[in-house]
């Protein structure tokens, strides 16, 4: 099956996000839309979509004009096993004591590390993205400071890399949840690949809305590597389900969004302990006082 792409660039983030949202309503509908800040120092933003049918060039031209974007560049991609290609191309990631790798790099695992096997699949979070890498580094720092997680939850777990990393260094079981059933399936595969079945439990849930999560609360550490809007919406639930003195590690937050998230969580008793930045992303470590 052929795959088509349509990409354009814009000068600022608000228009880029609005254009990305507008692309979701195209016909034929894109299978995915991405909005990213370009890493060439230009300050421009890239918006792109993937299609299984040739996109409507007229509709894309109208959208580019409406949002003051450059003309879309439309391409047909050769038929490729993209998962296999990603597996080949992804290199191991080092985040403090953690070494995140795919099975194709098992011969590269150092002896003095916590090795976490994560295969590329239809779920977010291989450790290569700045938000996941930042959360792993924040986790490593908490552990370096002497914290031992006794009751940990990974909300919006994707591949469950953060849950697996936590369960690899601490003795108690970890809960991982995601709203996407495919992500939950992928997470379970990764849990088994790391020989942690029974120690990491994966459930389908929107936020904390799951009987197992609610029964296990309050948690002394919660990961929320999602995006700003759901993190804001989850703030009251986070406060209710984190124990006093417990931590939240949050990401999926652009640098310019960080202060809003910090202020929102401060209002409900979770104050900023540390703020780290990787590329355009902020990673927040909060403590419930």
pLDDT in tens, 2-32: 788 999 999 988 999 999 999 999 999 998 8
- Bridge partners, 286 (sequence order): 248, 272
Q: Could you tell me the domains of the chain? A: 3-77 (3.30.70.260), 126-288 (3.40.50.150)
Per-residue pLDDT tens digits for 163-214: 999 999 999 999 999 998 888 998 999 999 999 999 999 999 999 999 999 9
Global confidence as pTM: 0.71
Q: What does the pLDDT average to over 36-40?
A: 76
For 180, phi then psi, to 5°, come to -95, 120
Distance CA 142, CA 57 (A): 50
The label of the residue with tokens 């999602």 reads: 226
CB atoms within 10 A of CB 2: 11
Q: Is the pLDDT of residue 122 over 50?
A: no
* Mean local confidence (pLDDT), 226-244: 94
Spatial separation of the C-alpha atoms in residues 188 and 170, rounded to whole Å = 19
- What pLDDT band is residue 244 in, cutting at 50, 70 and 90? very high
Radius of gyration of the chain (CA): 20
């Amino acid at each position: 099956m052929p795959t088509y792409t349509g990409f354009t660039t814009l000068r600022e983030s608000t228009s880029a996000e609005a254009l990305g949202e507008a692309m979701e309503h195209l016909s034929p509908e894109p299978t995915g839309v991405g909005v990213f800040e370009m890493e060439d120092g230009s300050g421009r933003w890239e918006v792109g979509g993937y299609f299984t049918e040739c996109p409507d060039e007229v509709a894309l031209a109208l959208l580019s004009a409406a949002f003051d974007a450059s003309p879309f560049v439309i391409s047909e991609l050769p038929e490729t096993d993209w998962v296999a290609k990603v597996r080949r191309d992804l290199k191991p990631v080092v985040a403090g004591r953690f070494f995140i790798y795919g099975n194709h790099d098992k011969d590269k695992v150092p002896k003095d590390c916590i090795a976490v096997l994560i295969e590329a699949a239809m779920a977010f979070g291989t450790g290569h993205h700045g938000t996941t890498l930042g959360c792993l580094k924040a986790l490593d720092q908490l552990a370096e400071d002497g914290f031992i997680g006794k009751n940990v939850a990974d909300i919006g777990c994707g591949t469950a890399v953060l849950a697996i990393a936590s369960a690899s260094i601490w003795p108690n079981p970890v809960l991982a949840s995601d709203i996407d059933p495919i992500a939950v399936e992928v997470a379970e595969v990764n849990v088994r690949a790391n020989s942690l079945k029974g120690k990491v439990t994966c459930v389908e849930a929107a936020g904390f809305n799951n009987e197992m999560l609610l029964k296990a609360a309050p948690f002394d550490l919660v990961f929320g590597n999602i995006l700003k809007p759901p993190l804001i919406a989850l703030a009251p639930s986070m406060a209710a389900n984190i124990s006093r003195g417990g931590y939240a590690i949050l990401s999926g937050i652009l640098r310019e969004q960080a202060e809003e998230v910090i202020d929102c969580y401060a209002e409900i008793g979770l104050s900023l302990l540390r703020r780290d930045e990787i590329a355009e992303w902020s990673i927040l470590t909060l403590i419930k006082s």
